[in-house]
Structure 1
């Protein structure tokens, strides 16, 4: 796989022990699809939303008569975990990709609450169930990852030119900085 952003990349052939290696445009690594142009579109469409929709369909077929609590537990365990796997890494910034992910949760919320009335607000149902948006959960996950990196809880070293947690931050006009 070649990582590039060019329309016409320079193509080299690579050999290993006399065998020519074939080029691929994307490759799955630890459950995350990495595309040669570093786009998350194939990962979100092919792996995340597709697999999560299949799992949601399984839950809908098999747990239709169960309680709301059972449906919600099945959703958070089997579907939301797929929608969030490694989300701190591939968190999309394009609205259409964010909407693709949220669409799966919106279908799940309607199933959990048993309310398919088009006039009723899915956002209100989601809040009533205590489910935050997936985008909000991914943002929280990113901040947790940054905290772990800064404090050395994960094996991702910080280069010398980045933030040093031992140094005090300069004050800016005696005002406080909000996290949002």
Structure 2
């Protein structure tokens, strides 16, 4: 197999200011060095902060939101707007989020603004008698109270459940996270335990939202487990507590 030199890039993944930069060659041609590279739709920057990816999906989804706003001006159904939003916008905002969900709070708020802009359009069209700016909580209750940040955590928990159910394969995740067997019948316990040496890795990020559901999530039950099911379990647990 021949490699395309024009499409080959070199990226050094490190958070150090001064690092060793070596010029790699392929067929006597120097390979271009870059600070970020796109792989399967996700931009990986050299420090794995995913700022480039967040900026990319923000730019794309803002355009799609504007398109939805323009073509649905005469729509009389709120459900139709949400179908377009879920299909065109939210699917892009959540694509491969289990990879880049370690983003900063600033980037998370930036993504959340897209959802808020869409909700403001829906609110002004279908609930003109209620002030959106003064009654933001009421507006969210009428539209969709679940934030994108919470949905990404549910997707993290879903991946962990799917790995332990054998639906997906992830060797590093299954090695770093194990099931916790409580010594007695405790009311609250952690379903998953992370290896102490990997508490700051992505495996721990998957385990925390799954543990927040506790015994309310039967991960070995017959049938499929979706992100909507995990969201419902989490909401029920929040109401009970």
**Structure 2 length as normaliser, TM-score?**
0.66
1:94-153 Cα shifts (integer Å, max 9, x gaps): 221111011000000111222584533344323212352101110100000111222332
Corresponding position of 1:48: 57
Corresponding position of 2:217: none
Q: Say what the alpha-carbon RMSD is for the aligned residues.
A: 2.3
Check 1:86–1:159 CA distance in 2 against 1; reply closer, same or farther (3 A cut): closer
Separation of aligned partners in 1, 2:155 and 2:139: 23
Q: Matched residue pairs, number?
A: 177
Matched, 1:24 2:34: yes
Separation of aligned partners in 2, 1:32 and 1:121: 36
Structure richer in helix, relative to its length? 2
Say if 1:72 and 1:112, in contact at 8 Å, map to a contact too: no
Say if 1:32 and 1:43, in contact at 8 Å, map to a contact too: yes
Unaligned stretches of 5+ residues in structure 2: 1-10, 191-210, 213-241
Corresponding position of 1:177: 189
Instruction: Provide the secondary structure at the position in 1 that maps to 2:32.
Output: coil
Instruction: Provide the secondary structure at the position in 2 that maps to 1:177.
Output: coil
Alignment of 1:60-139 (within 5 A): 60-67=69-76, 68-113=78-123, 114=125, 117=131, 119-139=133-153
Unaligned stretches of 5+ residues in structure 1: none
Corresponding position of 2:201: none
CA drift at 1:93? 4.4
Separation of aligned partners in 2, 1:172 and 1:41: 45
Check 1:124–1:98 CA distance in 2 against 1; reply closer, same or farther (3 A cut): farther
Alignment partner of 2:25 out of 3, 9, 15: 15
